Amino acid sequence: MFKELNVFKIAYSMATHAGKRQALVAQNIANADTPGYNAKDIKPFKEVYAQRGHSGDMVASRSNHLNGAGGTHMNWAVSETRGGGDPNENTVSIESEVLKGVEVKRQHDRALAIYKSSMKVLRASLGKN
């Protein structure tokens, strides 16, 4: 039988990524008038997931696993936008932050939809509706 269902891990990672990115968007909006504040962001989930690499090789999920490539954690490094054209050297654009917030909400909703759909398929395969 199945030992591991990757679709649940992907949905979890997508929802977690959305939560982290939403927190950064909220932080940026809260500091929109702070002099010298640099807007923070992380790469979109699509880019992070694509960089992870899917060559079909085994991946070690713990340091004591043998024969697996390490580095299963996704790179959600926070980056800062430097050098604003604003007189107070603030790089936050409220408009772009609001658009990022909408994008993040859609990502989170998509992750929940994937999770719910996968649960329905799993329940149906077990004969439980």
Q: Is residue 65 part of a domain?
A: yes
Segment 63-109, tens digit of pLDDT:
555 554 444 456 667 888 777 667 788 899 999 999 999 999 999 99
Q: Is residue 1 part of a domain?
A: no
pTM of the predicted structure, to 2 decimals: 0.74
Instruction: Fill in the amino acid letter for 129.
Output: N
Give the residues across from 40 on adjacent strands. 80
Angle between helices 94-126 and 6-30 (to 10 degrees): 160
Least Cα distance to 68 among 57, 77, 82 occurs for 57
Domain extent for 60: 6-126
DSSP E strand stretches across 1-129: 40-41, 79-80
Exposure of 56 in the CB half-sphere (CA atoms within 13 A): 0
Q: Is residue 17 part of a domain?
A: yes
Segment 5-45, tens digit of pLDDT:
788 888 999 999 999 999 999 999 999 999 989 999 998 88
Q: Is residue 68 part of a domain?
A: yes
Q: Is residue 21 part of a domain?
A: yes
Least Cα distance to 89 among 41, 26, 25, 34 occurs for 34
Number of domains present in the structure of the chain:
1
Give the residues across from 59 on adjacent strands. 69
**59 pLDDT tier (thresholds 50, 70, 90):** low
Whether residue 58 has pLDDT greater than 80: no
Q: Is residue 32 part of a domain?
A: yes
With 0-12 / 13-18 / 19 or more C-beta atoms within 10 angstroms meaning exposed / middle / buried, residue 63 is exposed
